[in-house]
Amino acid sequence: MARKPRKKSYSGIYHIMLRGVNRQTIFEDDEDKSRLLKTIERFKEKDKFLVYSYCLMDNHIHLLIKEKEETVSTFIQKISASYVYWYNNKYERCGHLFLENLASAEPFRRMP
């Protein structure tokens, strides 16, 4: 059964959470965190996204972002694919690093 489409944010702002498969560690050291932040910076400029805040935990990531030209799904796919490719090469592994479905929520609700 297919998952429901992501609910479109009226503001374009999303709280995104990417978790490691089986809650595994996705940052083994500071170099890994630095690499992900550089990857976000690269695609943020290219895809015209605003990143309001982030929190990097050992086994998951929180991002507060605003989409502009690309959809949030495309932006996250680019970031995760690039990071996972680098991570898998560094640690001589293969396969998925993140859960397939990213969690997203609209952080603000419009007041009546």
Sequence-distant (6+) residues with CB within 8 A of 49 are 43, 65, 66, 67, 68, 70, 75
| Tokens of residue 23, six digits | 């809650």
Where b means 16+ CB within 10 Å and e means fewer, 24-41 reads eebbeeeebeebbeebbe
pLDDT over threshold 80, residue 31: yes
Reported residue count of the chain is 112
**8 A C-beta contact, residue 67 and residue 49:** yes
**8 A C-beta contact, residue 75 and residue 49:** yes
State the pTM of this model.
Answer: 0.84
pLDDT at position 10: 77
Question: Residues 33-76: pLDDT tens digits?
Answer: 999 999 999 999 888 899 999 999 999 999 999 988 888 889 99
pLDDT at position 73: 87
